[in-house]
Amino acid sequence: MSTLEGNRLRNEARIKYGPQLRNSFKKLDVDQSGFASVDEMSKFLAKKGFIKNSDDSISDFNASMTRYLNKLNYGKEKPGELSEDEFVKFWADLYALFDKIDKNGDGFISISECCQYLLERKIKHQLTKNDLLSEVKRFFNKVDTDRNGKITLTEFFVKLPDLELQIINKTL
């Protein structure tokens, strides 16, 4: 999402989700360092029930977080951690992407919403529509552990590297 529309959506998400993100930041920064470490974020999400409190879920979250911190060039003030402003920007951008894919706005991404979005992105290494659908189904099998065909923002984020690397081979 590097277009003008992308910028607009990111700004909107910062306004919409900024207050709750700042609130979360204060709660999860338990050592009150003014920075959110990957560990503080995963503990907070596990406590809230957004990720499972299991070694696998936490290590997946940590791997994804570390990947995007580096890739998107975060942690400028303190390597590997987010300042409050960086935290808001990072997660608001993710909300902007998520909301864009979540066309019906129910707070979940469904298999068809995910397919539709990927088709609209005109993926470079062309998969046929059917191949794409089976890849997305495979992705959902990994992510959607309660098998209701819908995934939340956190579930989406935890497995986003898989989606990017295995299905589309590019950055969303």
Nearer CB in complex with Ca ion: 33/70: 33
Judged by CB under 5 A, does residue 155 bind Ca ion?
Answer: no
Judged by CB under 5 A, does residue 29 bind Ca ion?
Answer: yes
Residue 23 tokens, joined: 């609130």
Judged by CB under 5 A, does residue 112 bind Ca ion?
Answer: no
Nearest-approach distance from CB 126 to Ca ion, in angstroms? 26
Rg of the chain on CA atoms, in Å: 16
Judged by CB under 5 A, does residue 79 bind Ca ion?
Answer: no
Judged by CB under 5 A, does residue 104 bind Ca ion?
Answer: yes
Judged by CB under 5 A, does residue 106 bind Ca ion?
Answer: yes
Could you please report the per-residue DSSP string of 10-51?
HHHHHHHHHHHHHHHHHHH-TT--SEEEHHHHHHHHHHTTSS
Using the CB atoms, write b or e for 56-72: b if 16+ within 10 Å: ebbebbeebbeebbeee
Nearest-approach distance from CB 124 to Ca ion, in angstroms? 25
Nearer CB in complex with Ca ion: 7/145: 145
Residue 3 tokens, joined: 């277009």
How many binding residues for Ca ion (CB under 5 A)? 8
Judged by CB under 5 A, does residue 99 bind Ca ion?
Answer: no
Nearest-approach distance from CB 137 to Ca ion, in angstroms? 16
Judged by CB under 5 A, does residue 31 bind Ca ion?
Answer: yes
Q: CA 8, CA 61: separation in Å to the nearest integer?
A: 28
Nearest-approach distance from CB 81 to Ca ion, in angstroms? 7
What H or E segment, with its residue span, contains residue 109? strand 109-110
Judged by CB under 5 A, does residue 11 bind Ca ion?
Answer: no
* Angle of helix 153-162 versus helix 129-143 axis, rounded to 10: 120
Residue ranges in contact with Ca ion by CB under 5 A: 29, 31, 33, 35, 102, 104, 106, 108
